[in-house]
Chain A
């Protein structure tokens, strides 16, 4: 492989009050360029008020093979949800 620009992930806050959301990726030589490219590529239609960029190699992702042990144990812990608890109808707003 030659001297190619690394891949970056782009996160955009579409307006204040909302979280940054993953918008896509792009190539750039450095962080400053990644930010400028993200502005030029992903906010052409007024989509954002704030941008984060992170080089893709710095993201650690969980392995889907581990999904059973990572996520399934949470499925039956119904007591973490409000509907688990029976209250009389007279009690409103709780």
Chain B
């Protein structure tokens, strides 16, 4: 494929949106209230919309006869570059909100930088997505506070989610090996530089939510290299079902 490094970089951004969008769309119709259900679906739609923009661009860059759907649906598990955080299952509403919050804070910082990318298309997608993601961050932060400082039960549940998902946060700041050239050219963002601001931001909100910040220094990684958790296979089985069962058809 042409422009392979750039395409890999796009996967590393777009796959997060795709996989998290897929997770959120599992919830449609099952939310704790109609209003919350609608709110979460809005986030899923935003993320899937962003996914399409990225993949349309990647398909074009490849100079091959492929579409956004070939990229979204027809790679093997090892070829998906999303972080482990976004593929974690919807254990309960506390996990859904915490996963969203931990990702949104990162996503917003990334897009704020990416809007200045030397790549015009990436910059344009980032500019459009910032507005959506700012709202996601507001939504998830508000809910972290509600659950953290709500009842004893909700406090315990979200503390558990924060403790368990914390281990996936460090990977957000791993660059791909192939990114260095793109970073030099001002196309890709050096993620390691976002780390400090990220932890400051989320720790502030976690404290405000009366939750304690996990002390564990052991972090999980692998998603960006295509080594996923066991949950990923099932997610892809659902996602890819139609394309795999009925190959080469239009829908």
Contacts and interface: CB of A to CB of B under 8 A. Distances in A.
Check A-B contact in the complex, CB < 8 A.
Answer: yes
A94 B39 CA distance: 52
A37 interface: yes
Contact of A41 (B35, B138, B139, B146): B35
Given A37-B39, A40-B39, A40-B42, A29 B146 contact: yes
B33 interface: yes
A44 B139 CA distance: 16
B170 interface: no
A61 to B, nearest CB: 24
B38 interface: yes
B142 interface: yes
Interface in A17-42: 26-29, 32-33, 36-37, 39-41
A27 B35 contact: yes
Contact of A40 (B38, B142, B146): B38
A44 B42 contact: yes
Nearest to A29: B146
A36 B139 contact: yes
Contacts of B42: 40, 44
Nearest to A44: B42
A10 B111 CA distance: 32
A5 B135 CA distance: 22
A36 B146 CA distance: 14
A36 B42 CA distance: 11
A36 B143 CA distance: 11
Interface string B25-44: 00000000111101100100
B142 A37 contact: no
Nearest to A41: B38
Given A5-B33, A27-B33, A36 B142 contact: yes
Please list the 8 inter-chain residue pairs (A to B) with the smallest Cβ-Cβ separation, ordered nearest first. Answer: A37-B35, A40-B39, A40-B38, A40-B42, A41-B38, A26-B35, A41-B35, A27-B35
Interface of A: 5, 26-29, 32-33, 36-37, 39-41, 44
Given A33-B35, A33-B146, A37-B35, 16 more contacts: A5-B33, A27-B33, A27-B34, A28-B35, A29-B146, A33-B142, A36-B39, A36-B138, A36-B139, A36-B142, A37-B38, A37-B39, A40-B35, A40-B38, A41-B35, A44-B38
28 contacts: A5-B33, A26-B35, A27-B33, A27-B34, A27-B35, A28-B35, A29-B146, A32-B142, A33-B35, A33-B142, A33-B146, A36-B39, A36-B138, A36-B139, A36-B142, A37-B35, A37-B36, A37-B38, A37-B39, A39-B135, A40-B35, A40-B38, A40-B39, A40-B42, A41-B35, A41-B38, A44-B38, A44-B42
